[in-house]
A and B are shown apart, each in its own frame.
Chain A
Amino acid sequence: KAGVTQTPRYLIKTRGQQVTLSCSPISGHRSVSWYQQTPGQGLQFLFEYFSETQRNKGNFPGRFSGRQFSNSRSEMNVSTLELGDSALYLCASRPGTGGFYEQYFGPGTRLTVT
């Protein structure tokens, strides 16, 4: 099976712009989670989607949003970019939301805001 893919891998944006990141989960996986990773804050949970519904959300401002499509692919959007949004954004998928399911991570999208 193909792994989790994320596009684009690298992105440079200007403060105030918006950005959309894409994640394609492993085939058959219905849960997709997003994380932000920075040197200062570490790995922080953004949100999780399952069957097109957001199940959990982390402590991020409303500028961060996401959605999941019927084929389980997911996108996250960040509007009005700030310098502090520069980070590695990781996507992870798993078959369901049971606690015993491990997450499979993509390689991440490196976002740089200038």
Chain B
Amino acid sequence: AQSVTQLDSHVSVSEGTPVLLRCNYSSSYSPSLFWYVQHPNKGLQLLLKYTSAATLVKGINGFEAEFKKSETSFHLTKPSAHMSDAAEYFCVVNRGGYQKVTFGTGTKLQVIP
């Protein structure tokens, strides 16, 4: 079985300050992990993915995430928030095979000017 928990439903940051969106996962086997972003009334776009290579993964738009097996975490970070980062972010776990792709409940990021 696999599951994913996004620890914050809403995060608010000031423009230019760091962003931290937290995600913990549970999986019986080594999973692949993803972060997606959804802007209002849009589909989801892949930000980055971890597939058992480097534990620090760099994605688009300056985002990165670190896979920590000992903490079963895959937190998303960005050094400096931009107004265009305001969106909803989803953490996703997938072991593959017959396991369905499992989405977290999402974190809405608000960026204050």
Contact = CB atoms under 8 A, between A and B. Distances in A.
A61 B90 CA distance: 25
B94 A45 contact: no
B45 to A, nearest CB: 7
Given A42-B106, A56-B98, A100 B32 contact: yes
Interface of A: 4, 33, 35, 42-43, 45, 48, 55-56, 58, 90, 92, 97-108
Contacts of A55: 98, 100
B27 to A, nearest CB: 9
Contacts, number: 58
Nearest to B33: A99
A35 B38 CA distance: 14
Of B45, B95, B97, B101, most A-chain CB atoms within 10 Å: B101
Contacts of A100: 32, 49, 51, 96
A43 B101 contact: no
Nearest to A50: B98
B43 A108 contact: yes
Contacts of A105: 36, 43-45
